[in-house]
Structure 1
Amino acid sequence: MSKGKDKEPSISLEDCLADFSKANEDVVREALSSNRDLRVFSDKVKKELTTAHREAVEGCIKNAEQLTDLYNQINSCDQVFERLEKTLIGFQNDLGTISDDMKRLQDQSVLIKQELENRQKVRNDLSQFVDDIVVPQTMIKVIMEGDVSDRTFLEQLHELQHKLHFVKAQEFKEARAVEDVQPVLESLKFKAIEKIREWILTKIYMFRKPLSNYQVPQHQLLKYRFFYEFLLANERNIAKEIQAEYVDTIGKMFFSYFKVYISRLFKLMMTDAASKDDLLGVEDTVKHTGLTGLFSSKPQVRNRATVFSLGSRQNLLTHDFISPLIVPHAAKESNQKFQFETLFRSIHLALVDHSSHEFLFVADFFLFSGQAAINFHSKVMSRAIDQLLKDLEQRIALNFDAISLYLCIRLCDKFRNLLIEREIPPMDEYWETICNQLWIRFDQVMKMHNDSVNALDVRKMQTPVDTRPHYIIRRYAELTCAFLVVSECSGKELGKKIEAILETSEDAMEQLLLRMSATLPQQKDRLVFLINNYDLILSIIDDRVVQDNRIHSIIHELNQKAIGEFVEATLSPHFSALFSFVTECEPLVNQGHAQMLSRYNDKLTQIVGSFNGTWKKSIDAVNAEIIKSFTNFKNGTNILQAAFSQLIQYVQRFTKIISHEAFHNNASRNEMVNIHHIMVEIKKYKPVY
């Protein structure tokens, strides 16, 4: 036993502590607190375990049959699990084969899908091909029997055009199906061309009806613009025939329209229009009209006011520019009469409107663009334009109204700009031609005016010349002002042409004024005549013209020159001695000739004495003379101011001269009236005007 005990493994302290840490705390606590002998307790436990083992063995012996059955059942279960394991291993092997099958099926599915897509694509292409190439019965019936104006015909025509394009494209691919449908499509094409040609020509012939609104059939043609496009794509010869017929018909229509319109319009022209006798240099003559004139005590005088004055005629270039056209029969019923430029405006507004509408139509319907559209439009309008140029040339050649001619020139510029704003061909050649006619006639009329002025014999005039403004000068002023106002309203500068003409006219008028003034006996009256007439011209121009111009500058310089001479002539009778003294002595003072100046002491005494005694009366006389001389109070005020200013300047110069040492001993130098006293006296005359 001792040997056995010696063989028992020794338990280390760590193992005991580890077992102790795993023990139930309550049990350990109870064991420690009970103060029992552990060896006794250990023997007790061994006995209990032995007893429990014996009881277990006895229980097993008692239940040996049940245990045998349990063992057999366990063996049976082991066999079942073994077979299940084999089955699962078979399933596992089968699943590996299925994965390969699924991959193979997936590859087959992709192939089948691609084949399906290819077949569907072929089916769609083949279906589309069949739809594009097959000619349905509906199309045949509509094209062969349908009305061209019907919307269905237009739809089927679009479809036919598509099929024609498709068949033509398939011919290059050698598609055999084309041979089956091509004869049918060709027959339909020729039938459609025949019906379209007849329909379009019928619409074009509607333009030939008198008093018809040609824009109505044009609007119908635009709705079926594809008809012409079909002809252009399939039968160019017929398309060209349509173009030629349109040009011929519309050309004749516009030709007739403008020919009749001009004829009727000029019947409304004012009967009191300017004639060859209404010239600047022609005197107003008294004329008697019939029996009334024989027994009338008041002779009738030809009124040329409308020939030379502008009035409100410039409005034609502004807010009246695009006013409605003149309707001849309506104007005739209301007894309206018009001036040449108003008729000219109405004619060309009609031309611009019709030309604009026509260009837009031919570009839209005939599918033109760029230069081709411009050329075709020119063909359409050529006959009407030629007729306009011919008729207007005759009318312009009979126009003696210079204002009217110049207004028409400016109207041409306005109409050309209007076409450019509308993005329509501006017809430059036409405007250049008509402007050239107007300029030539304008130059001729102005030459007639200038010749009449140059040929006027001032010694044989019915009305004697006096110092007042002359009515011929008023005519010139009104006429010149009219040209300047028209230029301003047109928004353009005068230009070299009109400036040259106006300068020529001004030169003729200047020479006339000099000839007229020469008939007056007194030099002072001549100057008054020139100043009054120059002032009349400037006043009329200033009243209406805003922009600076050369004519105004020329007249202003002539006026200032005449005023200077008049002031000198007016002051000289009263202050000639003083003026002569200043004129003679001033150079001597500047040159320092004291000895020569001393010779003027006696003359200085006389001048101071005379001036002191008469200067007030002289100023009053100058004032009275200027009041009587000038009809324009404003002009008279300016001249009086110029006269007094010149007098003050002479007095100042005189005062400066007598302060020289050569006159130091002359007592009269201190007796000279103070210049400030003279200026105070002069200011009294300003309120008169």
Structure 2
Amino acid sequence: MNQEESETERLSSDLALFLSNPNIKSCLADGSLNLSSYASTIAAELSTLEHECIDIYRENHEVIQHLRKDMDECDLILASLQEMLLGFQADLGGLSGDIQALQEKSRTLGFQLENRKGAQDQLRNYLSRIVIAPSLADRICTGPVDTEFILAVQELEKKYQFIHSQNVVHSQGVKPDQTPSGNEMKQHITKLRHRAIGRIRTYFLTTIQSLRSPKTNVRMIQINSMVKYTPLMEFLQDAKIEIYNEIRNVYTESMSMTLYALFRTYAAQLSLLDIEIASRKDVIAVEDSALRDVWTRVNMSKRGDAFCLGSRWEVLEHGRGHGDSNSASSQVNDTSRPILAHVALNEKMKYPYEVIFKSIMMHLMDAVTNEYIFVRQFFQEHGPSTFPAILHRTLNLLLEQLENYLFNCYDCLGLLLMIKLTHSNKRIMRERKIDSLDHFFDSLTNLLWPRLKTVMDKQLRSVRDGDVRKLGAIDLHAHYVSRRYAEFTCSILQILQKGTRGEDVVIQASNSYQHAKSGKHTISTLSKSVGDMSILEHDSKSNDDPNSGVSSRNLSMEKAKSQGSSPRGSAGDLLLTDISTLQEETIFLLQRLSESHSTNKKRIIFLINNLDQIISIFHERKVSGKELNRFNELLMQQRELFVEEELLQTFSKMIAFVQQTEQHMNRPQFSSNTSTKAAAEGYKIEVNAQVVEGLVRDFATNWKQGIEQINRDVLSFFANFRNGMEVLKQSLTQLLLYYTRFQDIIRKVWRSKPPAFCKDLVSTSVILAEIKKYALAI
């Protein structure tokens, strides 16, 4: 059945092959193909091909035979190879067992090698941590103390810590110091460690000894010879705390003495540069006898160094100065940097004490900053144990020197500048995050404020108790008291406003300032008191004057009294109160001085010149506020009085007539409440026509000469042309106003028919033109 199916399938495939021939397919389609003839044709072709093949074989018979022989030989060779491979297969079957045995043995040897390497590493690590190399011992015993010595000590300390550690357990549960080798090396390591401690102690004590008489900068010794060896101090702190404490104590004592000697020498050198700005005689209202030098007999009334600030405010600046920073001279003159004492002495420079004070404080702050950083780095201290002990002696020295200076200090401006400097320095140290000088700055403040109060009271007493007969010659010009007062007040207000990058001035108050006011204090006891903090506001937004640059504020003294207590407040507030008191006392003194003149006009002229001088100085110093406003008001009042006095001297009759007539016309019957009918009919005013005519003709004849006389008087009385121009303008304006009122009276009296002398009235435009000529001339 299967054979039949296969024959069928073969037949089908043959038919498909025939049909694939396009010629056969076309013949089958049109029926032109004869299968019987086609079969015979095929049979004939096959027979032909068969005969051709036989002929080819016969022609190549030898070649075919040779190929047959080669194939037989190949079969023999392949058979032998097969036999050989079968032998190899049998041999390899025996070797596989040997290979497995070798693999197992190799794994065992690998485990053994790994264990031996682990044991070797542990032994090597153990030996390296306890055995002392000869080079290590040599560096510690005889080598110089340098970086290699530090590394050797650190390595030795590691060995020491390892062999004494109770937490490290060797193999078999044995600790390092319980092994024979560990027990032996423990003694050697301990002995070598003691040797290292001794050498470190000797090195640091020798280095610290050099600080007592340094041949180079102390900071360089600290950096190059101590800070660089900080790991050795860490080693001592763990190895021998007694030696560490000894070195720290020796350093504290040595550095304390060094800083004390340096600042004592520096302060002594700077004391030779101090220039006396003010003495006990430098008060605002000083007696005439004190103004004359005993030896030269030269009048010193114009001396104002103690009252004029000048460029002294530059001491509050903290930026670098101008000029060549590499020049020694520029460094000497630059108050933003400490004074080079030897250069200043060679150049014979002189400085106000506040510059010397600032220089010392700058050195102190730099030294404290350096020392603070060094102590934290070298001793690894963050507490106050060492640092205050180093500074104690030096700070006491500076406080004592300042206290001695203040006994004979009468320089208010210098004292206030030093107070501002102290506050600024305190803020600088806080920015550096060092508060160790806070108590010192508080002590400085508590010394400076009481002395400032004492000197301020002396100035106040000089003005309040000033004897007019002893204050020198009094003429119409400005008195030296007004100049001194103006310079002094402006200087204080400028100091309060300047400095510290334009910020509000924070000044520390102290209870001792109150005690100083009552005179119940000594400087030594004042340093114990600590005051409050307050803010003095001095800015351009003062309520006194919206355009003011420097101003002050009042204290409510009555409010304090009403509360049943003495007036209290910050020291700065009390200082401003003293300034206000000084202003009023100065005004009273000028009034007393003016009374020395015989006439009221001269008194007025004297006051105008003095008030004008005060105002001019305020403007020159760019100081404004309630003080300036007060003097401006007084000046305006005195100018008005002078104008009346001056006009009465030349035009007294006309002015008297105008005033009397206007007073008569202002009576009730001439008031605006009069009835309309009465006003229409008018009231007859009793006026002497001859008197009026005389006044008209007299004014027409003499008015130009009168204006010229006023001009001459103003130029002779007032040296300040600006002030004179204002007085002249106000005088001539008032004259024109009086004459206009005089003409109004004439028009009111003779409404219907003006008298004949009216043609002699001078036109106001003519008078105004003449006034403008004088104004332009000035």
TM-score class, shorter: 0.7 to 0.9
What secondary structure, in the 3-state scheme, does the structure 2 residue paired with 1:197 have? Answer: helix
1:256 and 2:261 matched: yes
One-letter amino acid matched to 1:679: L
Matching of residues 385-464 of structure 1 within 5 Å:
385-420=395-430, 422-425=432-435, 427-463=437-473
| 1:356-404 CA distance string (max 9 Å, x none) | 22222222222234xx2x5633221111101111121011121122222
1:312 CA drift (Å): 3.1
Distance in 2 between residues matched to 1:580 and 1:121, nearest whole Å = 131
1:592 and 2:596 matched: no
Contact 1:281–1:450 (CA under 8 A) maintained in structure 2: no
* 2:699 pairs with one of 611, 614, 617: 614
**In 2 relative to 1, CA 682–107 (structure 1 residues): closer, same or farther, beyond 3 Å?**
farther
1:322 and 2:336 matched: yes
Larger Rg: 1
* 1:132 pairs with one of 113, 129, 133: 129
Partner of 2:352: 339
| 1:398-438 CA distance string (max 9 Å, x none) | 11222222222233234334434555447122122212212
Partner of 2:192: 188
**In 2 relative to 1, CA 623–246 (structure 1 residues): closer, same or farther, beyond 3 Å?**
same
Contact 1:420–1:426 (CA under 8 A) maintained in structure 2: no
One-letter amino acid matched to 1:141: D
1:655 CA drift (Å): 8.1
| 1:582-609 CA distance string (max 9 Å, x none) | 5775797885346699557445977798
Partner of 2:611: 534
- With normalisation by structure 1, the TM-score equals 0.77
**In 2 relative to 1, CA 307–16 (structure 1 residues): closer, same or farther, beyond 3 Å?**
closer
What secondary structure, in the 3-state scheme, does the structure 2 residue paired with 1:520 have? Answer: coil
Partner of 1:19: 18
What secondary structure, in the 3-state scheme, does the structure 2 residue paired with 1:300 have? Answer: coil
* 2:714 pairs with one of 626, 629, 637: 626
What secondary structure, in the 3-state scheme, does the structure 1 residue paired with 2:283 have? Answer: coil
Aligned length: 646
1:86 CA drift (Å): 11
Partner of 1:230: 235
Partner of 2:513: none
* 2:286 pairs with one of 282, 289, 294: 282
Distance in 1 between residues matched to 2:400 and 2:38, nearest whole Å = 158
Distance in 2 between residues matched to 1:565 and 1:599, nearest whole Å = 35
Partner of 1:353: 366
| 1:206-231 CA distance string (max 9 Å, x none) | 22237764334323112222221211
Contact 2:168–2:175 (CA under 8 A) maintained in structure 1: no
Distance in 2 between residues matched to 1:202 and 1:82, nearest whole Å = 97
Partner of 2:298: 300
Distance in 1 between residues matched to 2:89 and 2:189, nearest whole Å = 72
Q: Of Structure 1 and Structure 2, which has the larger fraction of its residues in helix?
A: 1
1:153 and 2:149 matched: yes
Partner of 1:521: 598
1:128 CA drift (Å): 4.0
**In 2 relative to 1, CA 76–450 (structure 1 residues): closer, same or farther, beyond 3 Å?**
closer
Distance in 1 between residues matched to 2:20 and 2:663, nearest whole Å = 153
Distance in 2 between residues matched to 1:381 and 1:50, nearest whole Å = 133
Partner of 1:5: none
What secondary structure, in the 3-state scheme, does the structure 2 residue paired with 1:269 have? Answer: coil
1:544 CA drift (Å): 2.5
1:458 CA drift (Å): 0.9
**In 2 relative to 1, CA 138–610 (structure 1 residues): closer, same or farther, beyond 3 Å?**
same
Partner of 1:197: 201
Distance in 1 between residues matched to 2:13 and 2:253, nearest whole Å = 133
1:632 CA drift (Å): 0.5
1:130 CA drift (Å): 3.8
| 1:153-182 CA distance string (max 9 Å, x none) | 222012223334444555354752244144
One-letter amino acid matched to 1:532: N
One-letter amino acid matched to 1:207: L
**In 2 relative to 1, CA 192–86 (structure 1 residues): closer, same or farther, beyond 3 Å?**
closer
Partner of 2:489: 480
Distance in 1 between residues matched to 2:84 and 2:487, nearest whole Å = 132
Distance in 2 between residues matched to 1:128 and 1:628, nearest whole Å = 108
| 1:593-626 CA distance string (max 9 Å, x none) | 4669955744597779846852734444433332
One-letter amino acid matched to 1:281: A
What secondary structure, in the 3-state scheme, does the structure 2 residue paired with 1:379 have? Answer: helix
| 1:627-670 CA distance string (max 9 Å, x none) | 2221101111122233344556667788889998x985474799
Contact 1:222–1:365 (CA under 8 A) maintained in structure 2: yes
Distance in 2 between residues matched to 1:325 and 1:451, nearest whole Å = 37
Give me the identity figure in percent.
26
Partner of 1:578: 658
**In 2 relative to 1, CA 592–87 (structure 1 residues): closer, same or farther, beyond 3 Å?**
farther
**In 2 relative to 1, CA 627–144 (structure 1 residues): closer, same or farther, beyond 3 Å?**
same
One-letter amino acid matched to 1:307: A
Distance in 1 between residues matched to 2:270 and 2:358, nearest whole Å = 11
Partner of 1:207: 211
Contact 2:293–2:300 (CA under 8 A) maintained in structure 1: no
1:19 CA drift (Å): 3.3
- With normalisation by structure 2, the TM-score equals 0.69
Distance in 2 between residues matched to 1:307 and 1:54, nearest whole Å = 149
Contact 1:273–1:401 (CA under 8 A) maintained in structure 2: yes
One-letter amino acid matched to 2:391: M
Unaligned regions of 5+ residues in structure 2, if any?
Answer: 1-7, 322-333, 506-537, 539-551, 553-571
**In 2 relative to 1, CA 667–200 (structure 1 residues): closer, same or farther, beyond 3 Å?**
same
Partner of 1:6: none
What secondary structure, in the 3-state scheme, does the structure 2 residue paired with 1:306 have? Answer: coil
* 1:642 pairs with one of 730, 733, 741: 730
What secondary structure, in the 3-state scheme, does the structure 2 residue paired with 1:343 have? Answer: helix
| 1:241-285 CA distance string (max 9 Å, x none) | 222222222112222333343334324433x55322232221343
Distance in 2 between residues matched to 1:13 and 1:261, nearest whole Å = 131
Contact 1:517–1:529 (CA under 8 A) maintained in structure 2: yes
What secondary structure, in the 3-state scheme, does the structure 2 residue paired with 1:685 have? Answer: helix
1:368 and 2:384 matched: no
1:171 and 2:167 matched: yes
Contact 1:307–1:401 (CA under 8 A) maintained in structure 2: yes
Partner of 2:511: none
**In 2 relative to 1, CA 665–74 (structure 1 residues): closer, same or farther, beyond 3 Å?**
same
| 1:480-514 CA distance string (max 9 Å, x none) | 23323434442444753442232222222111111
Distance in 1 between residues matched to 2:733 and 2:773, nearest whole Å = 14
Distance in 1 between residues matched to 2:162 and 2:347, nearest whole Å = 65
**Worse-superposed segment, 160-169 or 597-606:** 597-606
One-letter amino acid matched to 2:191: S
Distance in 1 between residues matched to 2:436 and 2:693, nearest whole Å = 78
Contact 2:429–2:435 (CA under 8 A) maintained in structure 1: yes
**In 2 relative to 1, CA 107–676 (structure 1 residues): closer, same or farther, beyond 3 Å?**
farther
* 2:477 pairs with one of 459, 468, 471: 468
Distance in 1 between residues matched to 2:112 and 2:584, nearest whole Å = 102
Distance in 2 between residues matched to 1:50 and 1:153, nearest whole Å = 110
**Worse-superposed segment, 466-475 or 669-678:** 669-678
**Worse-superposed segment, 163-172 or 663-672:** 663-672
Contact 1:582–1:654 (CA under 8 A) maintained in structure 2: no
Partner of 2:387: 377
Contact 1:623–1:640 (CA under 8 A) maintained in structure 2: yes
